[in-house]
């Protein structure tokens, strides 16, 4: 009996733990659709059925307005939705292409007209993405910016510097090994958000903390982070963000990866750098060989329409490089100075002024004299 009770307690604890993880993930990654429903006179309406259907996957979520006429549809993944409000004795109102972004709340208000339920009123205008639910400061880097802006090294976190108050390259100015090494500053880009320390930030991908061992960003696709092709969008929170994020004295960067949809889609890419297109450095005897190939691709689609989806991403990089520099010759001495060595001979009357580059003895060219008080 005790063994059965212990198993039951462990099972209950596991269920609560998973549920808590899912709730936390929904809060910091997924968005929210909320609003108020009113009738033609402006009075609030209760018991109105509100549904949101994804235009990409067909997944639907619903809620019912309360006595104050407000509703909330929680844990909505990023994407485009069709939001519908229906009530007996009123026309059904539809809002097309309501865009939900990572960690954001979108207000969709309805005013239902009197009529039959089968009558529909469709509104297709875009809603302004204005945060009306909290005082957090920051901005969204959308899918278009992630896809089209050039990145040296293919690290999508370089785009965080598009937001006000974000400074990149922190911790990379010093040449000291203790402050500029990978062990000190991690694999990724060092960022200062709102003047805070680079190690005070938290980086979330699909709700999971991906800070590296030095509490810095996870780096590009060549380290522990997926490449640019897999990132849908991310949000940078610089100040006054809510307590649901936590674990940070600086800023918060929360991103979501792409997923499969009801349509098959994919792409391939390759970026090439070759020394055949470069000019020779002034100090090189000949042009140094350099070849860099960074390539990959992504693909996604349905396994079962409206139910199961698949998305995959691959990225690789290869380098071939060499350097050629001019040899540095040692200064001539009286014994080696000659026309054969490329230097003019030293006249005999000036040789007593010439000092060899090195002098035997423990003090070399320097000698110690007592200090005069």
Q: What is the CATH number of domain 137-321?
A: 2.170.130.10
> Is the pTM of the predicted complex or chain greater than 0.75?
no
Confidence of residue 213 (pLDDT cuts 50, 70, 90): confident
Whether the Cβ atoms of residue 68 and residue 43 lie closer than 8 Å to each other: no
Dmax (CA) of the chain: 117
| Sequence ranges of the domains in the chain | 25-123, 137-321
What is the structure's pLDDT at 77?
92
Instruction: Quote the tokens at residue 83.
Output: 């939001």
Instruction: Give residue-wise pLDDT tens across range 293-304.
Output: 888 899 999 999
Instruction: Give residue-wise pLDDT tens across range 299-337.
Output: 999 999 888 999 998 888 788 877 655 555 555 555 444
- Decide if pLDDT at 84 tops 70: yes
Q: What is the CATH number of domain 25-123?
A: 2.60.40.4130
Whether the Cβ atoms of residue 304 and residue 327 lie closer than 8 Å to each other: no
338 contact partners, CB below 8 Å, separation of at least 6? 345
The torsion region of residue 9 among left (phi > 0), alpha (psi -120 to 50) and beta comes to: alpha
Measured from the Cβ of residue 196, the count of other Cβ atoms closer than 10 Å reads 17
Half-sphere exposure of 54 (CA within 13 A, CB side): 22
Picking from 265, 287, 285, the residue whose alpha carbon sits closest to that of residue 275 is: 287
Q: Residue 126 carries which DSSP code?
A: P
- Decide if pLDDT at 190 tops 70: yes
SS3 assignment, position 122: strand
Confidence of residue 16 (pLDDT cuts 50, 70, 90): very low
- Decide if pLDDT at 363 tops 80: no
What is the structure's pLDDT at 43?
94
Picking from 225, 254, 227, 223, the residue whose alpha carbon sits closest to that of residue 238 is: 254
**Highest mean pLDDT, choosing among 95-99, 189-193, 349-353:** 95-99
């Amino acid at each position: 009996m005790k063994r059965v009770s212990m198993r039951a307690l462990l099972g209950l604890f596991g269920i609560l733990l998973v549920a808590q993880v899912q709730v936390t993930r929904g809060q910091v990654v997924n968005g929210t659709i909320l609003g108020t429903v009113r009738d033609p006179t402006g009075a609030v309406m209760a018991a109105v059925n509100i549904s949101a259907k994804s235009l990409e996957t067909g997944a639907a979520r619903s809620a019912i307005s309360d006595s104050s006429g407000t509703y909330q549809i929680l844990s909505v993944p990023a994407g485009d939705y069709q939001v519908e409000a229906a009530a007996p004795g009123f026309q059904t109102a539809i809002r097309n292409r309501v865009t939900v972004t990572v960690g954001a709340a979108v207000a969709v208000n309805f005013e239902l007209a009197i009529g039959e339920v089968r009558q529909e009123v469709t509104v297709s205008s875009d809603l302004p993405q204005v945060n009306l639910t909290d005082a957090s400061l920051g901005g969204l880097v959308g899918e278009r910016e992630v896809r089209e802006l050039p990145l040296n090294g293919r690290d999508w976190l370089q785009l965080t510097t598009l937001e006000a108050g974000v400074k990149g390259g922190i911790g990379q100015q010093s040449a000291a090994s203790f402050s500029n090494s990978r062990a000190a500053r991690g694999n990724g880009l060092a960022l200062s958000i709102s003047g805070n320390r680079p190690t005070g930030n938290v980086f979330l991908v699909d709700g999971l903390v991906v800070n590296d061992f030095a509490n810095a960003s996870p780096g590009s696709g060549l380290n522990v982070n997926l490449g640019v092709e897999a990132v849908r969008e991310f949000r940078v929170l610089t100040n006054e963000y809510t307590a649901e994020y936590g674990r940070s004295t600086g800023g918060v960067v929360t991103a979501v990866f792409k997923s499969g949809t009801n349509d098959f889609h994919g792409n391939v890419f390759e970026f090439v750098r070759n020394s055949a297109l470069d000019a020779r450095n002034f100090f090189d005897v000949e042009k140094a060989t350099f070849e860099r190939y960074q390539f990959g691709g992504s693909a996604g689609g349905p396994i079962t329409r409206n139910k199961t989806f698949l998305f995959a991403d691959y990225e690789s990089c290869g380098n071939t490089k060499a350097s050629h520099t001019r040899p540095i010759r040692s200064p001539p001495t009286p014994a080696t100075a000659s026309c054969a060595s490329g230097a003019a001979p030293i006249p005999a009357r000036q040789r007593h002024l010439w000092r060899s580059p090195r002098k035997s003895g423990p003090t070399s060219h320097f000698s110690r004299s007592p200090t005069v008080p």
